């Protein structure tokens, strides 16, 4: 049995149960140093937005309690991974470093660290924990990544059942080393404290994640065929919990296999295919780590985005566009850190198509305000709506927010909830003419088609 400590470096996997790196460290037998590193400086690191910082604070506090209950301690460090992790290894005399994989630009950081620590004689092992299917394992017959969701997901399902989730270790021998105080990271907003709506809506942490899953399985899943209606609680709202890895997709998958009512079981495949969109987004990110800044379809580089009019952009951000379903979504986002998926598509379509604002501007706003802001799903979804993404909606399909609201919020419950002033005289007139701006968008798209024709 090994005696030199094992470092477990946690990142987007803030859970004790079904955590392969943590379980392997316990099995190795030596004392375990569990560390979370706040790294905003490594190449490829993108500082978290405000809502995510709020979530991270509470998630780490919860994780610390979860680890203490089984004998370990969460060590918090801040700095560049290439300095801090080898430093911690030297300080503790560690013989092994374990982590669960990540799939974006930061995997270069991980690869470099793995070589360096291995060269120093440490055992370095990475584990699969955050995705049901590793992106490199799902390829077309020709060995290329899938560009279209349906065959991608079919290939995933054909690859076999995902592994069963691992239980939580029941006890560990932790190593106590110097740790930052969580409060010193100042992740929570103070002046002003805008997080009241977030506190009311969410319980970050592993317990909160499992409570949310149980609630959904027992209530929402049977309604999931009506998931496009934003006034209903028909979707799981697991996205921030999955984003921070407080629950794994394996645990979600496993939970919905048995013990469902017939009505819930009828919606299982559809629900799992939405988890599949998360896998698809990560597959796209894996093959294009610059997904948040680079068009998947390079012919979109020729798109004539308009410099955003500051007043119009502020109206979009603050939910004052005069288009009720859009304002409802943007206010839901601002207040609760989350927005219903159908409405995300509607507000993104208004920004990128009717207002001709570059999808990166919208992606950045969501990055700052969503509690589930995710390096893969956010960028992939923005590109999907804008038309520049993999398997994107055809550009000419411009969402009409008025018709969308009539169809998915026919009695205006959602609109009334978030825009109680909708019928007041002060409520603004629409900032864009939907019909004219649609035609302008289609005309702008001609530039993409022309660029494509030239490049052929
Ligand atoms: C413009 C835009 C931006 C988005 N940004 C994000 C983001 O930053 N983070 C994020 O997790 N999702 C994002 N989505 C996808 C989707 O809107 C959310 O995942 C979903 O609304 C979360 O609610 P839920 O947990 O109740 O979903 P459910 O319907 O219960 O789905 C279960 C899980 O599947 C995953 N999922 C569902 N739909 C999608 C999808 N279209 N793409 C990727 N994963 C999906 C999520 O992890 C979700 O928690 C975005 C969509 C759009 C149109």
Mean pLDDT of 272-278: 98
Range of the domain at 273: 131-164+207-287
pLDDT computed for residue 454 by the predictor: 66
| Distance (Å) from CA 256 to ligand 1 centroid | 18
Residue 255 lies in a domain: yes
Q: Known catalytic residue: 365? A: no
Is 448 a residue whose pLDDT tops 90? no
* Active-site position among 99, 382, 384, 418: 382
Q: Which residue puts its alpha carbon closest to atom 25 of ligand 1? A: 237
| Distance (Å) from CA 182 to ligand 1 centroid | 29
User: 304 with 425, same domain?
Assistant: yes
Q: Given the CA of residue 242, which atom of ligand 1 is nearest to it?
A: 47
User: 387 with 428, same domain?
Assistant: yes
Tokens of 415: 């609109």
Tokens of 316: 């979009």
pLDDT computed for residue 447 by the predictor: 81
Query: Which stretch of DSSP H or E encloses residue 34?
Result: strand 32-38
Q: Return the number of other C-beta atoms located less than 10 Å from residue 397's C-beta.
A: 12
Confidence of residue 451 (pLDDT cuts 50, 70, 90): confident
**180-184, 245-249, 300-304: range with lowest mean pLDDT:** 300-304
Confidence of residue 162 (pLDDT cuts 50, 70, 90): very high
- Specify the residue for token string 């001709």: 356
Confidence of residue 83 (pLDDT cuts 50, 70, 90): very high
The DSSP string of 51-109 is HHHHHHHHHHHHHHHHHHTTT--EEEEES-HHHHHHHHHHHHT-SEEEEE---STTHHH
CATH number of the domain bearing residue 120: 3.40.50.620
Phi, psi of 102, deg, nearest 5:
-125, 165
Q: Which residue puts its alpha carbon closest to atom 2 of ligand 1? A: 381
pLDDT computed for residue 2 by the predictor: 80
Residue 174 lies in a domain: no
Tokens of 358: 């570059």
β-bridge partners, 78: 38
pLDDT computed for residue 245 by the predictor: 98
Percent of the chain residues topping a pLDDT of 90: 93
- The contacts found for 448-455 with CB under 8 angstroms, 24 or more apart, are 448/299, 448/300, 448/302, 448/303, 448/387, 448/395, 450/302, 451/299, 451/301, 451/302, 452/299, 455/299
User: 115 with 217, same domain?
Assistant: no
Mean pLDDT of 97-126: 97
User: 444 with 307, same domain?
Assistant: yes
Is 456 a residue whose pLDDT tops 70? no
Domain count, the chain: 3
Is 263 a residue whose pLDDT tops 90? yes
Boundary residue ending a domain (241, 264, 287): 287
- Average pLDDT of the chain is 96
Is 305 a residue whose pLDDT tops 70? yes
pTM flag (> 0.95): yes
């Amino acid at each position: 049995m090994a005696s030199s400590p094992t470092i477990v470096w946690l990142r987007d996997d803030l859970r004790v149960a079904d955590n392969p790196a943590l379980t392997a460290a316990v099995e190795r037998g030596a004392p375990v140093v569990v560390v979370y590193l706040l790294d905003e400086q490594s190449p490829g690191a993108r500082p978290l937005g405000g809502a995510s910082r709020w979530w991270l604070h509470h998630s780490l506090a919860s994780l610390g309690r979860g680890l203490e209950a089984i004998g370990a301690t969460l060590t918090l460090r801040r700095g560049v991974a290439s300095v801090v992790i080898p430093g911690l290894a030297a300080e503790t005399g560690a013989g092994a470093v374990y982590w669960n994989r990540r799939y974006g630009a930061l995997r270069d950081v991980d690869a470099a660290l793995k070589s360096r620590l291995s060269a120093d004689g440490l055992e370095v092992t990475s584990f699969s924990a955050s995705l049901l299917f590793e992106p490199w394992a799902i390829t077309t017959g020709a060995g290329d990544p899938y560009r279209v969701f349906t065959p991608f997901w079919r290939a995933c399902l054909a690859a076999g059942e995902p592994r069963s989730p691992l239980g939580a270790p029941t006890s560990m021998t932790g190593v106590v080393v110097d740790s930052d105080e969580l409060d010193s990271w100042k992740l929570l907003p103070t002046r002003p404290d805008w997080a009241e709506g977030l506190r009311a809506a969410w319980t970050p942490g592993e317990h909160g994640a499992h409570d949310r899953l149980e609630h959904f399985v027992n209530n929402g899943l049977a309604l999931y065929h009506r998931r496009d209606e934003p006034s209903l609680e028909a979707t799981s709202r697991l996205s921030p919990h999955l984003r921070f890895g407080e629950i794994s997709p394996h645990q979600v998958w496993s939970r919905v296999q048995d013990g469902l009512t017939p009505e819930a079981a009828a919606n299982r495949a559809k629900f799992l295919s939405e988890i599949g969109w998360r896998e698809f987004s990560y597959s796209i990110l894996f093959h294009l780590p610059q997904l948040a800044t680079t068009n998947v379809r390079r012919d979109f580089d020729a798109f004539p985005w308009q410099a955003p009019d500051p007043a119009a952009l502020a109206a979009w951000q603050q939910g004052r566009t005069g288009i009720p379903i859009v304002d409802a979504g943007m206010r839901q986002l601002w207040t609760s850190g989350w927005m219903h998926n159908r409405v995300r598509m509607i507000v993104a379509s208004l920004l990128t198509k009717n207002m001709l604002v570059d999808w990166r501007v919208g992606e950045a706003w969501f990055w700052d305000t969503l509690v589930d802001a995710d390096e893969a799903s956010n960028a992939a979804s923005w590109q999907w709506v804008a038309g520049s993404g993999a398997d994107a909606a055809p550009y000419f399909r411009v969402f009409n927010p008025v018709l969308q609201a009539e169809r998915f919020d026919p009695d205006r419950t959602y609109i009334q909830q978030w825009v109680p002033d909708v019928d007041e005289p002060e409520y603004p007139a629409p900032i864009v003419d939907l019909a004219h701006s649609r035609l302008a968008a289609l005309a702008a798209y001609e530039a993409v088609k022309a660029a494509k024709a030239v490049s052929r």
